Amino acid sequence: MPEPITIRVKRFDPETDAESYWQDYTFEPPSEDSTLLDCINHIKWFIDGTLTYRMSCRSAICGSCAMRVNGGGQLVCNSQYRDHLDADNTITVEPAGNMPVVKDLVTDATGFWEKIRAVDPYIRSDREREAEGEHLMSPEDFSNIDDASTCIMCGACYSECASYEIDKNFLGPAALAKAQRVVHDTRDEEQGPRLARLSEYGGMWDCAHCFACVQACPKPVNPLYRIVDLRNEAHRRNFHDNNGSRHARGFVDIIEESGWLDEAKLPLKSVGSLKEFVTDLLPMGIRMGVKNKFRPNPMHLLPGRHHPPVPKMNEITKIIDKTKAADPADNE
């Protein structure tokens, strides 16, 4: 029989508890090959019937058993318990993050579904077609949305999204992955309006690149890379009148100058107006200056003052030139 393990569960019953608490369950797993969901089911069925959670297919298809395991989003049916044991043979399980807790490991996913609906993840087409026949995509075109199409909307990525945790206006990785799936669908005819909306505040440019969504996703969606796909498509279609696009293009321009990233100059390239500079950047710049947070010295903002080129600057220039040559539309 397998060695005894301890699963530490974060519990909460709104009818009896003022706040959440931890409860430990120590037992022998059903088998050496048991999934973590098998172990949680064992607790429910044989130890404590009051434990509450969601599960359904047990095959990583329905997405209902997303939880936090040892601090990270995870489908508990999707891996074996022994992959999560720490040195003390303990596994920590708690409800998914960024969602209100209903009871124990059950969360209210209303906010998650609102973000999905906000990107209108449906193909829109006004083209008239014959009643017979399908509206086909080529295999090459479908390859652009293949990864995004594997999303089961479990919410594991949403649970771990640091950008959403800080700013609830952010659409989140799952919704943006759904948006990428539609924007790159050749049957859709609203790519332009979609990209315009996604370029606004709370859209694709507000991702913090923390990679937590990639680590949490149980499928090959890789939400961060789908967000990057959206940004690249926005550049190709000249959606540049927003701070996110200006920031990305300014980043390349600064690196191209000397190989260094002048972090004092980058915010200036990102803003779109003098008003925004005065109301948003200037007060922050003064606070940073008082606390000596500028790297490099703000004197480099003056004309003619900049970093000396980094060693092998020609190698950096080659990379930038090759990237621009690969897609000339990015330079428009």
pLDDT of residue 327: 65
- Residue 129 banded pLDDT, cuts 50, 70, 90: low
In the chain, CATH 1.10.1060.10 covers 110-126+137-236
Mean pLDDT score across all residues of the chain:
89
The token duo for 37 is 């969901």
Question: What CATH code would you report for 5-107?
Answer: 3.10.20.30
Once rounded to an integer, what is the mean pLDDT over residues 235-239? 91
Token pair 């999560």 in the structure block, residue: 84
Q: Is 172 exposed, middle or buried (0-12, 13-18, 19+ CB in 10 A)?
A: buried
pLDDT of residue 295: 58
In the chain, CATH 3.10.20.30 covers 5-107
Per-residue pLDDT of 178-227, as tens digits, reads: 999 999 999 999 999 999 999 999 999 999 999 999 999 999 999 999 99
Return the CATH fold of 110-126+137-236: Fumarate Reductase Iron-sulfur Protein; Chain B, domain 2 (1.10.1060)
Report the alpha-carbon distance of residue 173 to residue 170 in Å, rounded.
9
Once rounded to an integer, what is the mean pLDDT over residues 53-59? 95
Contacts of 128 (CB under 8 A, 6+ apart): none
* pTM of the predicted protein model: 0.85
* The pLDDT of residue 301 is above 60: no
Contacts of 306 (CB under 8 A, 6+ apart): 257, 258, 262, 300
